Structure 1
Amino acid sequence: MQEPFVHINKLTIQYNHKKVLDNLSWSINKGENYLLGGESGSGKTTLAQAIVGDEIMEQTIKISYTQHSLLPAKAIYISNWYQFTNLEGDRNFYYQQRYNKHQGQDTLTVQAELEHYGQKENLDLKDIEQRIKDFGFESTRATQLIELSSGEHKKLQLIKGLWAKPQLLIIDEPYTGLDKQSRITLNNWLDDLVQEGVQLILISNDQQLPRAINRFAHIVNGQLEQVDNRNQLTRNAPREKMRLPDFLLASPPTPYKVVAKLQNIYIRYGDKEVLKDVSWEVKVGEKWLLQGPNGSGKSTLLSLINGDHPQSYGLDIYLFDQKRGTGESIWDIKEKIGIISPEMHWYFDQTATVWHTIASGFYDSIGWFVDVKFEEKKKIEELLAFFGLTEFKDHLLQSLPLGKQRLALLARTIVKNPPLLVLDEPCQGLDAEQTKYFNDVVDELAQHGKTLIYVGHYESLLPSCIEHRIVLEKGQVKAIEDILENVE
């Protein structure tokens, strides 16, 4: 009988006295390419990290590599989050730093990062030149790592891992942050790698998968269970609909007619134009969808509205009926905006508890630095209950499953009941049930005087309240249109 390619025998892992994996066993044979799905927080990421880790004893996890294969005898794990360092090997960045060009020289360029990785892994960059172009990543080569959007960081992760062609490739949430065409390109590349002998484990609840996926499993009560197809994978139970806290039912004051007006905006980093002649007006109460491929300029456009971009001074920008740079402070702007983005999540204070994370929304900080008032404490507790986070309020944000982290940050976004919600891919890391739950919340909030700017790639996973769409492509406005009847 052929020896399994991966054999796990009674693996137990626990955190804080709670067993995440409980005597888990799993055998993967050659040619079996798995989708590992199931509920958020069930232990999928923990299992993946254990398979590629160096700390597990051989009798617990054994990978039987093919010794005479042209592919390297190694396993590579591509995490959900991309972690990069500055030139001194440190991660001490701050959120607005990615927009400050003079401070962006602290990290490698994409080209230098690829060259460094290729040298380390003995790889030839020429082998993936076409893949880089197919991924729409060619134009980023001279870009500093800190300047990349979350979708571009994901592409860089994937390019490096797939370039190495390991015998075992494990990808955690491979499609997070990728636009529609990039997901198709990725699946085609993965299918090609399987033909060359790479074996896959994908951690995902996505519906668009490589053709090569032929096995399905999930983790239930710390044990791995195999199922016949992805429809049998466990899902988080639909969340019970709850009434919004009373303070969110009150419409915030809006003594202005226009939330944002941008006219003929150009943003350049050296010779690179990020935004080219962009004009856009958002009136009070409007609900907008902002779309475009990865790297099209969406994050930069939003940074002009939320006050984070240093080039916004001197441009023809009006925020809340006041021209930018005519005496308003950054805090005058931020007090009117509730924002969430993948980049904010990435830079968020690693020492913050869930409670402190939500509290920081009152002060627009990436963390929590002051005491909150009694009424503010009451609102925090109401949101903890509303999002089902009360039992986790004293846990570190980063210790929670990614889905719960996002819910905590969503609570932070609305805790001060702002008139403008800027939701940049707010449901990254949430499964379909959690996404529907949150978008239902957005629809309810929209009924109470909110203006909305929502960034999302999936047409079928959007709030129903959206009325208008602006589409960017290569830094330019490709379309502005009404979509009230087109959104499903």
Structure 2
Amino acid sequence: MKPPLITLDKVSVKFPNILLFSNLSFTLQQGQNWALAGKSGSGKSVLLQAIASNVGINGGSITYGFMDDVYKAPPTDDLLTFHRFIAFAGARHHFKTLSNTSDFYYQQRYNSSDSENTLTVRQYLQTVKVNQHKPPYWTFDKTIAALNLTELCDKQTIKLSNGETKRLMIAAALLKNPLILLLDNPMTGLDVATRKAFNVLLNEVSASGISIMMATPAFEIPDCITNVAVLDNGAISQSLTKQEFETSGHQSAEKTTVDTAALKQLLNTSAVNHSYKQIVSMRDVHIQYGDKTILNKVNWHINPGERWALLGPNGAGKSTLLSLINGDNPQAYANNIVLFDKKRGTGESIWDIKSKIGFVSPELYQYFPTDNSCLQVIESGFYDTLGLFRPSSKAKADLALNWMKALEIDKYARQLLKNIPASAQRLCLLARALIKNPALLIFDEPCQGLDDHQQQHFKAVVDAICGISTVTLIYVTHYQHEIPDSVDKVLRLDKGEVVS
């Protein structure tokens, strides 16, 4: 009988002053594919990182039993360590510039001269070292076709949409031809059609001899999964077959309540005059990079107090459209765009625009510095800076703490952003968007990485805010159930054009 592919024996993992795991044991057997379920912050991502050796363990041991078969294969010139046979695709990308640095900034994708200094999709995938212990099943052509990247091969990585970036990261992991594939919420950011295709793809990945472990929401477990581990506070509370899990009732979250009186007080504390005739007016907006049209003849008028869903598949142009509103895209000056009653290019600064907007997006999460405390991150929302670069104001810090309480993350107030769970990091950025009570809220896939309770609670908070204020809302998501009940208007994009 073959040994387990991976064995964790009483493993402990610590971050500064935080014990994440203690005496955790787990085995991945031949023929198994595992889903890791549980609340946000329960340890799913850290468990994957520990297996990939991306974080060190402080106690116990991890044994990579699959290496027994690797050593039996014909010798190669490569150094055969277990790292070579494990591929990990996480929540953040690690793209390089042509100068082999990671010096990216948030608005870089919209500045053509700067974005040219990045690898193309083809160049990025060509940096992947393919395992040659046996003839590779996942060749370059097969992999890019499977992840629908063929038409994107000559596009700079920095210009990819969130969903396109996710597909590229998965392709890079697959192209390695690993024995173990570790995926951290792989369907986050993917549109409906791509999620369906990815489910089919995972069946082929498994059939090709690759064992899969993935963190995923309880309602979105792929067909190829055989077993589910439920994590709770850094421990595996249950190990079930997929069938047992599906009949156990784990998929449903409890109803959540919102303290409306506290929200009213928060909004009154930072009351701002929002008297505008029009929030956004776009006429025949056209955005083009080289010979590639991103937006074509887009017309969109948003009145004060309206709540919109902005929908469309990956690469439809949604993020580019939002960049024109948020002041991040210099091509706004070449188009007929009015924001908050002022035509772009008539004297208003980017900071004037940003002062009226609360914004969050996957790209902001990707590039936001993590060395500030959570309170400092949220307080920086008053100044629209990526971090707090001035002395903290007690009144503003108190307000930041109250917003953390409203989003149920106040226990992280004094911790550095980098030392808290990814879901709490995202909620901090949402609090940062809310803190100044802006005239316009732009939430681009705000529920990425949140568990069921966090999603329901945030959705209830948004509906409560819309019920007691005149805030205007633009909400982007690929999941129908995430759209707040207060949203009653839809703009749908496809291939850069308005389709409804």
For normalisation by structure 2, the TM-score amounts to 0.89
Match of 1:64 in 2: 65
Provide the secondary structure at the position in 2 that maps to 1:202: strand
Deviation, structure 1 residue 120: 8.5
Letter in 2 for 1:261: S
**Cα separation, partners in 2 of 1:336 and 1:59, compared to 1, 3 Å:** closer
Higher mean C-alpha displacement, 241-250 vs 428-437: 241-250
Deviation at 1:463, TM superposition (A): 0.3
2:125 is the alignment partner of 1:114: yes
1:277 to 297, 310, 327: 297
Where does 1:229-268 land on structure 2 (aligned, <5 Å)?
229-230=245-246, 231=248, 233=250, 240-243=257-260, 244-248=263-267, 252-268=272-288
Corresponding residue for residue 412 of structure 1: 432
Distance 1:336 1:456 in 2: 22
* Alignment equivalent of 1:333, drawn from 353, 366, 381: 353
Task: Determine if the alignment matches structure 1 residue 377 to structure 2 residue 377.
Answer: no
Alpha-carbon distance, 1:112 to partner: 1.1
Structure 1 residues 333-371: Cα deviation after superposition (integer angstroms, max 9, x where no partner): 111110000111111122221011101100011111123
Structure 2 distance, partners of 1:119, 1:205, is 30
- 1:407–1:464 Cα change, 3 Å: same
Deviations 1:47-96 (A, max 9, x none): 111212186699821122234689x9712121122221223332222211
1:261 to partner: Cα distance? 0.8
2:20 aligned partner: 20
Segment drifting more, 342-351 vs 366-375: 366-375
- One-letter amino acid of the counterpart of residue 98, structure 1: R
Partner Cα distance (1:473, 1:132) in 2: 22
Q: Is the 8 A contact 1:387 1:411 kept in 2?
A: yes
Greater shift after overlay, 420-429 or 373-382?
A: 373-382
Q: Mean alpha-carbon deviation: is it higher for 31-40 or for 73-82?
A: 73-82
SS at match of 2:364: helix
Distance in 1 of aligned mates of 2:414 and 2:380: 14
Once the 2 structures are TM-superposed, how far is the Cα of residue 130 of structure 1 from its aligned partner?
5.3
Q: Does the CA-based 8 Å contact 1:286-1:452 persist in structure 2?
A: yes
Letter of the structure 1 residue corresponding to residue 196 of structure 2 = I
Which sits farther off after the overlay, 353-362 or 105-114? Answer: 105-114
Post-superposition Cα deviations, 1:442-488, rounded to whole Å, max 9, x if no partner, equal 11111210100000110112100111111111111111xxxxxxxxx
Residue in structure 1 matched with residue 144 of structure 2 by the alignment:
132
Asked whether the equivalents of residues 121 and 164 of structure 1 are also in contact (C-alpha less than 8 Å), the reply is: no
Superposed, which structure 2 residues align to 1:166-245 within 5 Å? 166-224=178-236, 225-227=238-240, 228-230=244-246, 231=248, 233=250, 240-243=257-260, 244-245=263-264
Residues 223-268 of structure 1: CA distance to partner in whole angstroms, max 9, x if unpaired?
A: 3231331545598876552231513158742322211111111111
Provide, for residues 170-229 of structure 1, a one-character-per-residue CA deviation record: whole Å limited to 9, x for no partner: 101111111111111111111011112111111111523322111111223433231331
Structure 1 match to 2:388: 368
Amino acid corresponding to residue 473 of structure 2 in structure 1: L
What is the CA–CA distance in structure 2 between the aligned matches of 1:330 and 1:389, rounded to whole Å?
Answer: 31
Matches within 5 A, 1:350-365: 350-365=370-385
**3-state SS of the aligned residue for 1:307?**
coil
4-13 or 261-270: which moved more?
A: 4-13
- Aligned match for 1:465, one of 482, 486, 498: 486
Question: What residue is the counterpart of 1:87 in the other structure?
Answer: 98
CA RMSD of aligned residues (A): 2.6
CA displacement 1:292-319 (0-9 Å, x = unmatched): 1111110000000011101111211111
Looking at structure 2, the residues matched to 457 and 270 of structure 1 have their Cα atoms a distance apart, in angstroms, of 28
Partner of 1:102: 113
Match of 2:78 in 1: none
CA deviations 1:431-450 (Å, max 9, x no partner) are 12111110111111112101
1:432 equivalenced with 2:452 (yes/no):
yes
Name the aligned partner's letter for residue 63 of structure 2.
Answer: K
Q: Cα 1:359–1:207, aligned 2, differ >3 Å: closer, same or farther?
A: same
- What TM-score results when the alignment is normalised by the length of structure 1? 0.91
Q: Taking structure 1 as reference, are residues 340 and 306 closer, same or farther at Cα in structure 2, changes over 3 Å only?
A: same
Deviates more, 1:207-216 or 1:268-277: 207-216
Q: Gapped runs of 5+ residues in structure 1?
A: 480-488
Change over 3 Å in CA distance of 1:130–1:8 after alignment to 2 = closer
Rounded to whole Å, the distance in 2 between the matches of 1:53 and 1:430 is 24
Partner of 1:294: 314
Q: Residues of 1 paired with 2:345 and 2:103: CA distance? A: 29
Hey, what's the Cα distance between the residues in 1 that align with 2:2 and 2:59?
19
CA distance in 1 between counterparts of 2:200 and 2:422 reads 27
- Give the % identical residues: 36
Read off the aligned partner of 1:226 and give its amino acid letter. S
Compare 384-393 and 249-258 and name the one that shifted more: 249-258
Aligned match for 2:477, one of 448, 456, 464 = 456
1: distance between equivalents of 2:440 and 2:431?
15
Query: Aligned partner of 1:229: which letter?
Result: F
Q: Which residue of structure 2 aligns with residue 145 of structure 1?
A: 157
Aligned residue for 1:229, secondary structure, equals helix
Find the counterpart in structure 1 of residue 53 from structure 2.
53
Structure 1 Cα separation of the partners of residues 343 and 136 of structure 2: 51
Q: Retained in 2: the 8 A contact 1:22–1:221?
A: no
**Deviation sequence 1:105-152 (CA, Å, 0-9, x none):** 221111211222267979989935355345443332222122222221
Check conservation: 1:9, 1:59, Cα contact below 8 A: yes
CA positional deviation for 1:415:
0.3
* Stretches of structure 2 lacking an aligned partner (at least 5 in a row): 75-81
Q: Which residue of 2 aligns with 1:11?
A: 11
1:218 and 1:233 in contact (8 A); partners too:
no
Residues 350 and 120 of structure 1, relative CA distance in 2, 3 Å threshold: farther
Residues 1:11 and 1:303: Cα distance change in structure 2 (over 3 Å): same
In structure 1, distance between residues paired with 2:393 and 2:208: 61
Q: Count how many residue pairs are aligned between Structure 1 and Structure 2.
A: 478
